[in-house]
Amino acid sequence: MNFDELEAIYHRPFFDLLQQARQVHEAYWPEKDEMQLCTLLSIKTGGCSEDCGYCAQSARYSTGVKAERLMERAEVLAAARRARENGSTRFCMGAAWRGVRAGTEKFNQVLGMVRDVSQLGMEVCVTLGQLSDTEALQLREAGVTAYNHNIDTSPEFYPEIVTTHTFQDRLNTIRAVQDSGMALCCGGIVGLGETVEDRLRMLAVLTSLDPAPESVPINCLMAMPGTPLEDQAPVDIFDLVRLIATTRLALPRARVRLSAGRTRLSPEGQAMCFFAGANSVFYGDKLLTAANPAARADLALLQALDLRPHALPVAPAFTEEKGLVFTPENIPLETAEIR
Ligand code: SAM
Ligand code: DTB
Ligand code: SF4
């Protein structure tokens, strides 16, 4: 969809837009009342060389986030197991890096983590910054199912927010991800000071990607103290709902993730976002460095709205010694039917 088409959709009367988005949502998502829970883990926090104006992990700003070392492989696996036990079907590991290079120790360590986590049967996502074809293929072979790399805003507004890399750099990484066969998770942030037109230009870029992204996170800026954007006002809820509805219509097959910033949204505001087509949230008390609604509050919200957490088709048991173990309870469906 081009910019003009997106603009026409976005500015439809609010309830018409919502109704249309819901219809498309129901047509493309038979499990219309399912919400995917995704758990985030920051495997390498802080100390990043880049100057992304929204980010608490940039070494250029005094945000109180300390640079930490890459987490241990065993700790990561333990966190992934807990995420699965708590109902997440996607686990996303994030690192505060400009990018990664094949053959380096840190990249090999990440490949090890991915190999472990991919045994648990969840979708495995990583977000490590820029990469090229070699790294993308190695990640895919290790078991990554999706790579998160956001374009964050429009190409025109991007240089106002980041100067240490370009929008084209982002697109180059996206190309490498898609060529490797990994699914692409790609979205952006609202509330950076951009216009509605910038948001729609960002959506136009997302819809032009081939194949379309499998997953589209819509983050509301979490105005982190110490960053250049610390004083940004929260996004208007109706603008957010319109954007989510427009995303659902433009990318009907994509999982739309209501991502960072839910702590500033009311339950009613979130409910409208879900009605408009958002069908995933980050689950757990923490995002990477910032707060997320408490897990208990999220479960209560899902229950109040008669939504159920998306479930794993297969829940293989995993033991350190034996790896994946299928029992009569968790045996894969196809195998069970053959019996
Ligand atoms: N370093 C990698 C990169 O930049 O691609 C991966 C981690 S980075 C933290 C992942 C994404 O988190 C960013 O692209 C941005 O969309 C989102 N993000 C970071 N800080 C945020 C904030 N304060 N508010 C909302 N979203 C944020
Ligand atoms: C995405 O789009 N949002 C997540 C995930 N991808 C990696 C990250 C949100 C980060 C929020 C700010 C923080 O925790 O520091
Ligand atoms: Fe670094 Fe990513 Fe934060 Fe930018 S968004 S400063 S690249 S961690």
> For residue 165, which ligand has an atom nearest its CA?
3
What value, to the nearest 5°, has the Cα angle with vertex 159 and ends 155 and 160? 115
Q: Map tokens 């890459």 to a residue.
A: 70
pLDDT tens by residue, 55-86: 999 999 999 999 999 999 999 999 999 999 99
Ligand 1 pocket, 151 CB below 6 A? no
pLDDT tens by residue, 261-320: 999 999 999 999 999 999 999 999 999 999 999 999 999 999 999 999 999 875 555 555
Q: Could you read off the pLDDT tens digit of each residue along the chain, which spans 339 residues?
A: 999 999 999 999 999 999 999 999 999 999 999 999 999 999 999 999 999 999 999 999 999 999 999 999 999 999 999 999 999 999 999 999 999 999 999 999 999 999 999 999 999 999 999 999 999 999 999 999 999 999 999 999 999 999 999 999 999 999 999 999 999 999 999 999 999 999 999 999 999 999 999 999 999 999 999 999 999 999 999 999 999 999 999 999 999 999 999 999 999 999 999 999 999 999 999 999 999 999 999 999 999 999 999 998 755 555 555 555 544 444 443 333 332
Report the catalytic residues.
Answer: 48, 52, 55, 92, 125, 185, 257
CA 147 / ligand 3 centre spacing (Å): 15
Is the Cα dihedral 44, 112, 170, 124 positive or negative?
Answer: negative
> For residue 192, which ligand has an atom nearest its CA?
1
Ligand 1 pocket, 227 CB below 6 A? no
Domains, in order of start, for the chain:
3-331 (3.20.20.70)
Q: Are 276 and 241 in contact (CB under 8 A)?
A: yes
**How many Å apart are CA 89 and CA 104, to the nearest integer?**
30
Written as six digits, the tokens of 29 are 């998502």
**How many Å apart are CA 15 and CA 124, to the nearest integer?**
36
Ligand 1 pocket, 61 CB below 6 A? no
Ligand 1 pocket, 43 CB below 6 A? no
Measured from the Cα of 165, ligand 3's closest atom is 7
State the pLDDT at residue 333: 39
State the pLDDT at residue 269: 98
CA 55 / ligand 1 centre spacing (Å): 6
Nearest protein CA to atom 21 of ligand 1, as residue: 55
Three-state SS for 245? Answer: helix
Number of Cβ within a 10 Å radius of residue 150: 21
| Cis preceding-peptide flag for 211 (omega within 30 of 0) | yes
> For residue 280, which ligand has an atom nearest its CA?
2
3-state SS string over 117-142?
Answer: HHCCCCEEEEECCECCHHHHHHHHHH
**How many Å apart are CA 193 and CA 221, to the nearest integer?**
10
State the pLDDT at residue 314: 55
CA 4 / ligand 3 centre spacing (Å): 31
Please tell me what DSSP assigns to residue 262. G
Ligand 1 pocket, 221 CB below 6 A? yes
State the pLDDT at residue 312: 83
Written as six digits, the tokens of 305 are 């709205």
Written as six digits, the tokens of 194 are 């951009």
CA 259 / ligand 2 centre spacing (Å): 7
The pTM score is 0.93
Nearest protein CA to atom 2 of ligand 3, as residue: 96
Nearest protein CA to atom 3 of ligand 3, as residue: 55
